[in-house]
Amino acid sequence: MQRAPALHPGKITPEARYGYIPGLDGIRAFAVLVVLIAHLGFEHIIPGGFGVTVFFFISGFLITRLLLAETLTSGRIGLKDFYIRRFLRLLPALYVMLAVTAAVMITMGEMPGLWETVGAVTYTTNIVAISKYLTGAEWLAPWDHLWSLAVEEHFYLLFPLLLMATARRPATALRVCLILCGLALAWRLVNIHLLGFPPGYNYVATEARMDSILWGCALSLSLHVAPQWTGWHRLIGWVPILAAGLVLLACFLIRDEDFRQTLRYALQGASLFVLVLNLFFFRSVGWTTSLLEWPPLSWTGRVSYGLYIWHQPVLYFSREYGGLAEGGAAFMATGVVLSFALTALSYYGVERPLIALRRRFGSHVASGAQRVEVSGLAAETGGQAK
Protein backbone atom coordinates (compact mmCIF):
# COMPACT_ATOMS: atom_id res chain seq x y z
CA MET A 1 0.00 0.00 0.00
CA GLN A 2 1.52 3.32 -1.07
CA ARG A 3 2.10 5.79 1.75
CA ALA A 4 0.30 9.11 1.38
CA PRO A 5 2.58 12.11 0.99
CA ALA A 6 3.18 14.19 4.09
CA LEU A 7 2.62 17.37 2.07
CA HIS A 8 -0.96 18.14 1.13
CA PRO A 9 -1.50 18.89 -2.57
CA GLY A 10 -0.48 22.46 -3.16
CA LYS A 11 -0.11 25.03 -5.92
CA ILE A 12 3.00 23.23 -7.19
CA THR A 13 4.29 19.68 -7.03
CA PRO A 14 6.97 19.08 -4.40
CA GLU A 15 9.09 17.30 -7.02
CA ALA A 16 10.80 19.67 -9.41
CA ARG A 17 8.96 20.13 -12.70
CA TYR A 18 8.70 22.70 -15.43
CA GLY A 19 5.65 24.88 -15.30
CA TYR A 20 4.35 28.25 -14.24
CA ILE A 21 4.46 28.84 -10.48
CA PRO A 22 1.43 30.83 -9.32
CA GLY A 23 2.25 33.81 -7.15
CA LEU A 24 5.96 33.94 -7.93
CA ASP A 25 5.75 37.00 -10.15
CA GLY A 26 3.71 38.72 -7.45
CA ILE A 27 6.45 38.05 -4.91
CA ARG A 28 8.99 39.56 -7.29
CA ALA A 29 6.76 42.61 -7.69
CA PHE A 30 6.67 42.99 -3.91
CA ALA A 31 10.46 42.72 -3.76
CA VAL A 32 11.20 45.28 -6.47
CA LEU A 33 8.57 47.70 -5.16
CA VAL A 34 10.13 47.54 -1.69
CA VAL A 35 13.49 48.45 -3.23
CA LEU A 36 11.98 51.24 -5.34
CA ILE A 37 10.01 52.79 -2.48
CA ALA A 38 13.05 52.70 -0.21
CA HIS A 39 15.18 54.45 -2.82
CA LEU A 40 12.49 57.10 -3.36
CA GLY A 41 13.44 58.43 0.06
CA PHE A 42 11.83 56.04 2.54
CA GLU A 43 14.87 53.94 3.49
CA HIS A 44 14.40 54.98 7.12
CA ILE A 45 11.07 53.10 7.28
CA ILE A 46 11.10 50.68 4.30
CA PRO A 47 13.68 47.82 4.41
CA GLY A 48 14.93 48.10 0.85
CA GLY A 49 17.68 45.57 1.47
CA PHE A 50 15.04 42.99 2.34
CA GLY A 51 13.64 43.33 -1.17
CA VAL A 52 17.01 42.22 -2.53
CA THR A 53 17.07 39.30 -0.07
CA VAL A 54 13.65 38.19 -1.35
CA PHE A 55 14.97 38.38 -4.91
CA PHE A 56 17.92 36.21 -3.94
CA PHE A 57 15.69 33.62 -2.26
CA ILE A 58 13.21 33.40 -5.15
CA SER A 59 16.02 33.15 -7.68
CA GLY A 60 17.62 30.28 -5.76
CA PHE A 61 14.29 28.48 -5.41
CA LEU A 62 13.32 28.80 -9.07
CA ILE A 63 16.64 28.08 -10.73
CA THR A 64 17.21 25.03 -8.53
CA ARG A 65 13.74 23.73 -9.40
CA LEU A 66 14.38 24.22 -13.11
CA LEU A 67 17.81 22.59 -13.03
CA LEU A 68 16.38 19.62 -11.12
CA ALA A 69 13.57 19.37 -13.68
CA GLU A 70 16.15 19.43 -16.47
CA THR A 71 18.02 16.59 -14.79
CA LEU A 72 14.82 14.54 -14.52
CA THR A 73 13.72 15.08 -18.12
CA SER A 74 17.03 14.87 -19.95
CA GLY A 75 19.25 13.06 -17.46
CA ARG A 76 21.76 15.87 -17.33
CA ILE A 77 22.31 19.61 -16.94
CA GLY A 78 23.47 21.33 -20.11
CA LEU A 79 25.97 23.68 -18.51
CA LYS A 80 26.87 25.61 -21.67
CA ASP A 81 23.23 26.18 -22.56
CA PHE A 82 22.48 27.24 -18.99
CA TYR A 83 25.14 29.94 -19.13
CA ILE A 84 23.98 31.09 -22.57
CA ARG A 85 20.40 31.34 -21.33
CA ARG A 86 21.51 33.40 -18.37
CA PHE A 87 23.49 35.81 -20.51
CA LEU A 88 20.70 36.18 -23.07
CA ARG A 89 18.24 36.86 -20.28
CA LEU A 90 20.36 39.45 -18.47
CA LEU A 91 23.12 40.99 -20.57
CA PRO A 92 21.22 42.70 -23.42
CA ALA A 93 18.92 44.72 -21.15
CA LEU A 94 21.79 45.50 -18.78
CA TYR A 95 24.12 46.69 -21.54
CA VAL A 96 21.42 48.87 -23.10
CA MET A 97 20.84 50.51 -19.70
CA LEU A 98 24.58 51.05 -19.23
CA ALA A 99 25.02 52.53 -22.71
CA VAL A 100 22.06 54.90 -22.35
CA THR A 101 22.96 56.10 -18.87
CA ALA A 102 26.64 56.52 -19.75
CA ALA A 103 25.64 58.58 -22.78
CA VAL A 104 23.45 60.81 -20.61
CA MET A 105 26.27 61.31 -18.13
CA ILE A 106 28.77 62.21 -20.85
CA THR A 107 26.28 64.61 -22.45
CA MET A 108 25.92 66.33 -19.08
CA GLY A 109 29.69 66.66 -18.77
CA GLU A 110 30.20 63.80 -16.30
CA MET A 111 32.29 60.71 -16.96
CA PRO A 112 31.42 57.33 -15.40
CA GLY A 113 34.30 56.01 -13.33
CA LEU A 114 36.60 53.48 -14.96
CA TRP A 115 36.23 50.84 -12.27
CA GLU A 116 32.50 51.43 -11.95
CA THR A 117 32.22 50.74 -15.69
CA VAL A 118 34.42 47.65 -15.53
CA GLY A 119 32.42 46.32 -12.60
CA ALA A 120 29.07 46.94 -14.33
CA VAL A 121 29.98 45.17 -17.57
CA THR A 122 31.77 42.22 -15.93
CA TYR A 123 29.45 41.47 -12.99
CA THR A 124 32.02 42.59 -10.45
CA THR A 125 30.27 45.68 -9.08
CA ASN A 126 30.26 44.16 -5.59
CA ILE A 127 34.05 43.80 -5.72
CA VAL A 128 34.39 47.43 -6.83
CA ALA A 129 32.06 48.44 -3.98
CA ILE A 130 34.21 46.55 -1.47
CA SER A 131 37.34 48.35 -2.67
CA LYS A 132 35.58 51.67 -2.19
CA TYR A 133 34.42 50.68 1.30
CA LEU A 134 38.03 49.92 2.19
CA THR A 135 39.54 53.04 0.61
CA GLY A 136 36.74 55.56 1.10
CA ALA A 137 36.80 56.42 -2.61
CA GLU A 138 33.86 58.25 -4.17
CA TRP A 139 31.36 56.34 -6.33
CA LEU A 140 31.30 57.81 -9.85
CA ALA A 141 28.28 56.24 -11.58
CA PRO A 142 24.62 55.43 -10.75
CA TRP A 143 25.27 51.71 -10.95
CA ASP A 144 26.11 50.70 -7.39
CA HIS A 145 22.85 48.69 -7.17
CA LEU A 146 24.30 46.21 -9.67
CA TRP A 147 26.21 44.56 -6.83
CA SER A 148 23.30 42.13 -6.42
CA LEU A 149 23.53 40.98 -10.04
CA ALA A 150 27.20 40.29 -9.42
CA VAL A 151 26.43 38.15 -6.36
CA GLU A 152 23.90 36.10 -8.31
CA GLU A 153 26.10 35.55 -11.33
CA HIS A 154 29.08 34.53 -9.22
CA PHE A 155 26.84 32.06 -7.42
CA TYR A 156 25.42 30.58 -10.63
CA LEU A 157 28.84 30.09 -12.15
CA LEU A 158 29.37 27.38 -9.55
CA PHE A 159 26.01 26.16 -8.26
CA PRO A 160 25.08 24.10 -11.35
CA LEU A 161 28.35 22.22 -10.88
CA LEU A 162 27.13 21.11 -7.45
CA LEU A 163 23.88 19.80 -8.91
CA MET A 164 25.77 18.06 -11.71
CA ALA A 165 28.12 16.39 -9.23
CA THR A 166 25.19 15.20 -7.11
CA ALA A 167 22.72 14.44 -9.93
CA ARG A 168 22.03 10.96 -8.51
CA ARG A 169 22.19 12.16 -4.90
CA PRO A 170 20.15 15.37 -4.56
CA ALA A 171 20.02 14.83 -0.80
CA THR A 172 23.76 15.41 -0.78
CA ALA A 173 23.26 18.70 -2.61
CA LEU A 174 20.76 19.70 0.09
CA ARG A 175 23.23 18.91 2.86
CA VAL A 176 25.93 20.91 1.09
CA CYS A 177 23.55 23.89 0.75
CA LEU A 178 22.76 23.82 4.47
CA ILE A 179 26.45 23.51 5.37
CA LEU A 180 27.26 26.48 3.13
CA CYS A 181 24.51 28.50 4.83
CA GLY A 182 26.23 27.87 8.14
CA LEU A 183 29.64 28.73 6.71
CA ALA A 184 28.34 32.02 5.27
CA LEU A 185 27.06 33.02 8.71
CA ALA A 186 30.35 31.98 10.33
CA TRP A 187 32.29 34.02 7.75
CA ARG A 188 30.20 37.12 8.46
CA LEU A 189 30.90 36.74 12.18
CA VAL A 190 34.64 36.41 11.48
CA ASN A 191 34.57 39.50 9.26
CA ILE A 192 32.92 41.63 11.92
CA HIS A 193 34.49 40.34 15.12
CA LEU A 194 37.97 39.18 14.07
CA LEU A 195 38.95 40.82 10.79
CA GLY A 196 37.24 44.15 11.38
CA PHE A 197 35.91 44.48 7.83
CA PRO A 198 33.58 47.43 7.21
CA PRO A 199 29.88 46.49 7.60
CA GLY A 200 29.26 47.03 3.88
CA TYR A 201 31.47 44.04 3.10
CA ASN A 202 29.01 41.55 4.54
CA TYR A 203 26.19 43.21 2.63
CA VAL A 204 27.67 42.88 -0.87
CA ALA A 205 30.36 40.17 -0.83
CA THR A 206 29.36 37.04 -2.72
CA GLU A 207 30.60 34.55 -0.16
CA ALA A 208 29.02 36.53 2.69
CA ARG A 209 25.59 36.75 1.04
CA MET A 210 25.38 33.39 -0.71
CA ASP A 211 23.10 31.96 1.98
CA SER A 212 20.35 34.39 0.93
CA ILE A 213 20.26 32.43 -2.35
CA LEU A 214 21.03 29.06 -0.77
CA TRP A 215 17.94 29.14 1.46
CA GLY A 216 15.83 29.24 -1.70
CA CYS A 217 17.89 26.43 -3.22
CA ALA A 218 17.40 24.43 -0.03
CA LEU A 219 13.62 24.76 -0.22
CA SER A 220 13.52 23.42 -3.78
CA LEU A 221 15.87 20.56 -2.89
CA SER A 222 13.99 19.72 0.32
CA LEU A 223 10.66 19.47 -1.45
CA HIS A 224 12.19 17.44 -4.27
CA VAL A 225 14.12 15.06 -2.04
CA ALA A 226 11.65 14.52 0.80
CA PRO A 227 8.03 15.17 -0.23
CA GLN A 228 6.98 12.49 2.27
CA TRP A 229 8.99 13.80 5.20
CA THR A 230 6.73 13.64 8.24
CA GLY A 231 8.23 16.82 9.66
CA TRP A 232 6.65 19.08 7.06
CA HIS A 233 3.53 19.51 9.18
CA ARG A 234 5.61 21.28 11.83
CA LEU A 235 6.54 23.97 9.32
CA ILE A 236 3.09 24.46 7.80
CA GLY A 237 0.27 26.31 9.54
CA TRP A 238 -0.58 29.53 11.31
CA VAL A 239 1.92 29.03 14.14
CA PRO A 240 4.95 28.65 11.82
CA ILE A 241 3.73 31.61 9.75
CA LEU A 242 3.38 33.76 12.86
CA ALA A 243 6.79 32.69 14.14
CA ALA A 244 8.46 33.46 10.81
CA GLY A 245 6.68 36.81 10.62
CA LEU A 246 7.83 37.77 14.11
CA VAL A 247 11.41 36.83 13.27
CA LEU A 248 11.26 39.07 10.19
CA LEU A 249 9.80 41.88 12.27
CA ALA A 250 12.65 41.52 14.75
CA CYS A 251 15.13 41.71 11.87
CA PHE A 252 13.61 45.04 10.84
CA LEU A 253 13.42 46.50 14.36
CA ILE A 254 16.76 45.45 15.82
CA ARG A 255 19.23 48.17 14.88
CA ASP A 256 22.38 46.70 16.42
CA GLU A 257 24.93 46.76 13.59
CA ASP A 258 26.60 43.47 14.55
CA PHE A 259 23.25 41.69 14.38
CA ARG A 260 22.30 43.37 11.11
CA GLN A 261 25.51 42.33 9.38
CA THR A 262 25.61 38.76 10.68
CA LEU A 263 22.52 36.97 12.01
CA ARG A 264 19.98 39.08 10.13
CA TYR A 265 20.53 37.44 6.75
CA ALA A 266 20.40 33.92 8.17
CA LEU A 267 17.17 34.59 10.05
CA GLN A 268 15.56 36.23 7.03
CA GLY A 269 16.49 33.27 4.84
CA ALA A 270 15.04 30.74 7.31
CA SER A 271 11.87 32.83 7.66
CA LEU A 272 11.40 33.02 3.90
CA PHE A 273 11.86 29.24 3.73
CA VAL A 274 8.85 28.82 6.03
CA LEU A 275 6.70 31.55 4.46
CA VAL A 276 7.19 30.47 0.84
CA LEU A 277 6.60 26.84 1.83
CA ASN A 278 3.27 27.84 3.35
CA LEU A 279 2.36 29.95 0.34
CA PHE A 280 2.49 26.84 -1.82
CA PHE A 281 1.23 24.15 0.56
CA PHE A 282 -0.96 25.68 3.29
CA ARG A 283 -4.52 25.70 1.98
CA SER A 284 -5.74 28.36 4.40
CA VAL A 285 -3.55 31.00 2.74
CA GLY A 286 -4.56 30.04 -0.78
CA TRP A 287 -6.29 33.40 -1.17
CA THR A 288 -2.90 35.12 -1.20
CA THR A 289 -2.18 33.62 -4.60
CA SER A 290 -5.13 35.49 -6.10
CA LEU A 291 -3.66 38.72 -4.74
CA LEU A 292 -0.20 37.91 -6.06
CA GLU A 293 -1.66 37.02 -9.47
CA TRP A 294 -3.49 40.37 -9.74
CA PRO A 295 -2.57 41.40 -13.33
CA PRO A 296 -0.82 44.73 -12.52
CA LEU A 297 1.21 43.03 -9.78
CA SER A 298 2.00 40.01 -11.95
CA TRP A 299 3.13 42.27 -14.80
CA THR A 300 5.36 44.24 -12.43
CA GLY A 301 6.94 40.97 -11.35
CA ARG A 302 7.58 39.95 -14.95
CA VAL A 303 9.36 43.23 -15.68
CA SER A 304 11.05 43.46 -12.28
CA TYR A 305 14.52 42.92 -13.73
CA GLY A 306 14.23 46.01 -15.92
CA LEU A 307 12.64 48.03 -13.13
CA TYR A 308 15.49 47.12 -10.81
CA ILE A 309 18.29 48.06 -13.18
CA TRP A 310 16.63 51.28 -14.45
CA HIS A 311 15.21 52.86 -11.30
CA GLN A 312 18.52 53.83 -9.72
CA PRO A 313 19.88 55.75 -12.73
CA VAL A 314 16.50 57.48 -13.13
CA LEU A 315 16.55 58.63 -9.51
CA TYR A 316 20.19 59.71 -9.82
CA PHE A 317 19.50 61.82 -12.91
CA SER A 318 16.34 63.31 -11.37
CA ARG A 319 18.38 64.44 -8.38
CA GLU A 320 21.69 65.41 -9.99
CA TYR A 321 20.56 66.81 -13.34
CA GLY A 322 16.90 67.60 -12.73
CA GLY A 323 17.52 69.41 -9.46
CA LEU A 324 14.66 67.58 -7.75
CA ALA A 325 14.86 67.27 -3.98
CA GLU A 326 15.13 63.66 -2.85
CA GLY A 327 11.93 62.62 -1.11
CA GLY A 328 9.89 65.42 -2.64
CA ALA A 329 6.65 64.84 -4.53
CA ALA A 330 8.17 65.84 -7.90
CA PHE A 331 11.17 63.57 -7.30
CA MET A 332 8.97 60.59 -6.46
CA ALA A 333 6.51 61.15 -9.33
CA THR A 334 9.30 61.59 -11.86
CA GLY A 335 11.16 58.56 -10.54
CA VAL A 336 8.14 56.27 -10.69
CA VAL A 337 6.86 57.38 -14.11
CA LEU A 338 10.25 57.35 -15.85
CA SER A 339 11.34 54.10 -14.20
CA PHE A 340 8.22 52.25 -15.35
CA ALA A 341 8.35 53.83 -18.82
CA LEU A 342 11.96 52.79 -19.40
CA THR A 343 11.24 49.39 -17.90
CA ALA A 344 8.42 48.82 -20.40
CA LEU A 345 10.66 49.89 -23.28
CA SER A 346 13.34 47.47 -22.07
CA TYR A 347 10.93 44.60 -21.61
CA TYR A 348 9.09 44.90 -24.93
CA GLY A 349 11.95 46.27 -26.99
CA VAL A 350 14.95 44.28 -25.71
CA GLU A 351 13.97 41.32 -23.54
CA ARG A 352 10.92 39.81 -25.25
CA PRO A 353 12.37 39.84 -28.79
CA LEU A 354 15.10 37.49 -27.55
CA ILE A 355 12.69 34.79 -26.35
CA ALA A 356 12.93 32.78 -29.58
CA LEU A 357 16.72 32.77 -29.39
CA ARG A 358 16.63 31.70 -25.75
CA ARG A 359 14.36 28.78 -26.65
CA ARG A 360 17.05 27.51 -29.02
CA PHE A 361 19.22 26.96 -25.95
CA GLY A 362 16.60 25.14 -23.89
CA SER A 363 14.56 27.95 -22.42
CA HIS A 364 11.01 27.08 -21.39
CA VAL A 365 9.68 30.61 -21.72
CA ALA A 366 6.06 30.61 -22.82
CA SER A 367 3.12 32.94 -22.73
CA GLY A 368 0.21 33.31 -20.36
CA ALA A 369 -0.31 30.62 -17.76
CA GLN A 370 2.46 28.50 -19.24
CA ARG A 371 5.16 31.10 -18.65
CA VAL A 372 8.32 29.78 -17.06
CA GLU A 373 11.05 32.39 -16.87
CA VAL A 374 14.20 32.70 -14.84
CA SER A 375 15.72 36.08 -14.53
CA GLY A 376 18.44 37.70 -12.70
CA LEU A 377 17.89 40.16 -10.02
CA ALA A 378 18.67 42.19 -8.87
CA ALA A 379 15.93 40.50 -9.43
CA GLU A 380 17.73 40.41 -11.29
CA THR A 381 14.62 38.84 -12.10
CA GLY A 382 11.68 39.50 -14.40
CA GLY A 383 9.13 36.80 -14.78
CA GLN A 384 9.76 33.09 -14.43
CA ALA A 385 12.18 32.45 -17.26
CA LYS A 386 14.95 29.98 -17.82
Domains of the chain, by residue range, sit at 24-370
Q: What's the one-letter identity of residue 107?
A: T
pLDDT tens digits, one per residue of 92-134: 999 999 999 999 999 999 999 999 999 999 999 999 999 998 8
Residues 250, 252, 254, 259: is their CA dihedral positive or negative? positive
State yes or no: pLDDT of 380 exceeds 70: no
The pLDDT value given to residue 366: 52
Closest of 212, 284, 290 to residue 241, by C-alpha: 284
State yes or no: pLDDT of 371 exceeds 70: no
| 129 Cβ neighbours under 8 A, 6+ residues apart | 119, 139, 144, 147, 200, 204
What's the predicted TM-score (pTM) here? Answer: 0.91
Segments in 166-237 forming alpha helices (H): 170-190, 199-204, 206-225
Helix orientation angle between 147-165 and 48-74, rounded to the nearest 10 degrees: 30
Read off the pLDDT band of 365 (50, 70, 90): low
| 197 Cβ neighbours under 8 A, 6+ residues apart | 191
Cα–Cα distance, 5 to 232 (Å, whole number): 10
| 139 Cβ neighbours under 8 A, 6+ residues apart | 113, 116, 129, 132
Counting Cα atoms < 13 Å in the Cβ hemisphere of 152 gives 32
State yes or no: pLDDT of 381 exceeds 80: no
pLDDT tens digits, one per residue of 143-156: 999 999 999 999 99
- Does residue 378 contact residue 148 with C-beta atoms inside 8 Å? yes
Helix orientation angle between 79-107 and 114-122, rounded to the nearest 10 degrees: 150
Whole-number Cα distances in Å, 222 to 171, 172, 174, 219? 8, 11, 7, 5
Whole-number Cα distances in Å, 20 to 135, 141, 204, 365, 385? 46, 37, 31, 9, 9
pLDDT tens digits, one per residue of 246-286: 999 999 999 999 999 999 999 999 999 999 999 999 989 98
State yes or no: pLDDT of 292 exceeds 80: yes
Output the average pLDDT for the chain: 89
Cα–Cα distance, 288 to 276 (Å, whole number): 11
